[in-house]
């Protein structure tokens, strides 16, 4: 399958490397306006690198990863979809709900696959956690904190880190947001760098997301409280631990470490994307899924004003 990558920043470089390691995949070209980035890609992978999207489109790629800054997602995505190219676009889907709706509509009109790169869904710890959740889920708490990322300039922590977890809440609970609120602060820059998001899902499950760029280390952890068990998923270590209800007889909890096979999540994401393109089946994370996250942003930021 002929594929391409638009944007050769950190994420674009990871997409490119993974494509070059996948059997049956030919990277016909990459696009970036920065000459140094193009030269680096050509030297490392021996593939054509272009300054414009039109040059890549001339090679008729079947599928393309869009890894440009968020404010360029709409422009690049629409151009590719207009030409019938299947795309996986890095999260969040777009800068605004209106832009997201336009992308979803264009994909539908052109019959092209549109997948949003909420990559944590492919984390094996998330998949294991999802498999353990039943109808007795009470609450979900997610902690996603990091040092300040110099590479992020166009959005704050809610749209960058929080987007992962807004999507995960919908995925893990199988439900949409009934109530959604947040408090946030901007300490070091123009955009918010610390936030706490609280939600009640339509299913009745309560949820909280704690996210910031002011912690000197990375944490990616989900805890799920159920009537029958308590589950902790560490997304960095890719581990899942289950705690039983407290035993009055033995005065303790039983603990079970669930087996998880570690893997590179982006490779799994791209594998599932290309499988959907080949088999003409829905992508695992649809444009509509990405749009729901953008609508959640609208509700959150409306409440912050």
What's the pLDDT at 22?
Answer: 97
The domain spans of the chain are 2-118+267-285, 120-262+296-304
| Nearest CA among 91, 15, 70, 81 for reference residue 47 | 15
Q: What is the pLDDT of residue 47?
A: 95
Structure tokens, 222: 């989900």
Which CATH code is given to the segment(s) 2-118+267-285?
3.40.50.720
**Measured between alpha carbons, how far is 156 from 212 in angstroms, rounded to an integer?**
9
Element (H, E) at 45: helix 35-45
Q: E-strand spans in 216-282?
A: 219-226, 230-234, 239-243, 255-258
C-beta atoms surrounding 104 within 10 Å: 21
Query: How many whole angstroms separate alpha carbon 156 and alpha carbon 88?
Result: 22
Q: Which CATH architecture has domain 120-262+296-304?
A: 2-Layer Sandwich (3.30)
Which pLDDT value is given to residue 284? 96
pLDDT value, residue 152: 64
**What does the pLDDT read at residue 40?**
95
Per-residue pLDDT, 251: 66
Q: Which two tokens stand for residue 113?
A: 């696959």
Per-residue pLDDT at 277: 98
Low-confidence ranges of the chain (pLDDT < 70): 151-153, 246-251, 305
Residue linked to tokens 């889920």: 137
CA–CA dist 205, 190 (Å, integer): 33
CA gap 180, 297 in Å, rounded: 10
């Amino acid at each position: 399958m002929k594929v391409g990558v638009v944007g050769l920043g950190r994420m674009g470089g990871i997409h490119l490397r993974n494509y070059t390691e996948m059997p049956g995949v030919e990277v016909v070209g990459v696009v970036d306006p920065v000459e140094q980035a193009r030269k680096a890609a050509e030297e490392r992978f021996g593939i054509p690198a272009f300054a414009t999207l039109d040059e890549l489109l001339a090679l008729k790629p079947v599928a393309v990863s869009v890894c440009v800054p968020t404010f360029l997602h709409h422009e690049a995505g629409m151009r590719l979809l207009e030409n019938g190219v299947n795309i996986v676009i890095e999260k969040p889907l777009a800068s605004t709900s209106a832009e997201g709706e336009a992308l979803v509509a264009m994909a539908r009109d052109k019959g092209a696959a549109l997948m949003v790169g909420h990559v944590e869904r492919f984390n094996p710890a998330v998949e294991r956690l999802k498999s353990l959740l039943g109808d007795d889920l009470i609450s979900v708490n997610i902690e996603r904190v990091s040092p300040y990322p110099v590479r992020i300039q166009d959005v704050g922590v809610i749209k960058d880190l929080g987007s992962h977890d807004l999507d995960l809440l919908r995925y893990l609970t199988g439900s949409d947001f009934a109530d959604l609120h947040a408090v946030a602060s901007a300490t070091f820059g123009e955009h918010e760098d610390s936030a706490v998001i609280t939600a009640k899902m339509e299913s009745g499950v309560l949820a909280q997301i704690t996210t910031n760029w002011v912690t000197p280390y990375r944490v990616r952890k989900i805890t799920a409280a159920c009537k029958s068990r308590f589950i902790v998923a560490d997304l960095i270590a890719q581990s899942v631990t289950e705690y039983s209800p407290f035993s009055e007889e033995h005065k303790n909890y039983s603990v079970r470490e669930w087996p998880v096979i570690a893997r590179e999540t982006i490779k799994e994401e791209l594998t599932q994307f290309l499988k959907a393109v080949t088999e003409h089946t829905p992508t695992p994370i649809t444009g509509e899924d990405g749009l729901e996250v953008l609508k959640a942003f609208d509700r959150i930021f409306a409440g912050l004003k």
